[in-house]
Amino acid sequence: MPRVLQVQRLHLQAHLPIRATLGSDGLDLRVPQESLTLQPNSQNLVSIGLAIALPQGYYGHIAPRSSLTLKGIDVGAGVINADYMGEVKVLLVHNGLQAITSPKASGLHS
């Protein structure tokens, strides 16, 4: 029996998690901002505008994507425990020498 992931939008602009392809093992999270600017050598705790209730006995794992790593952006690995009910946030670390501004439709939001 498939497990149900309960998701609550905390902001109107928040994007629901999506499975990019039928073969994807995880769900993609996107930030709700129209654009996002990351300064050089910075750490940014970014809200995704969602609260996620996981089934008991399961946890969520925030993992980096290779498309972001190629842009000099690391995603700090994180764990979402089943009993955590607050807003999910993602740590983005920009290791580049120049600021990056990402429009909503770009890879930074996937």
**Is residue 20 a part of any domain in this protein?**
no
pLDDT digits (tens, 9 = 90+) for 65-110: 888 888 888 998 889 999 999 999 999 999 989 998 876 544 444 3
* Distance separating alpha carbons of residues 55 and 10, to the nearest angstrom: 20
**Is residue 63 a part of any domain in this protein?**
yes
- Where b means 16+ CB within 10 Å and e means fewer, 73-109 reads bebeeeebeeeeeeebbbebebeeeeebebeeeeebb
Q: Which domain holds residue 36?
A: 6-14+29-109
**Is residue 79 a part of any domain in this protein?**
yes
Angle, vertex CA 82, rays to CA 78 and CA 86, nearest 5:
70
How many domains is the chain partitioned into structurally? 1
pLDDT at 1 over 60: no
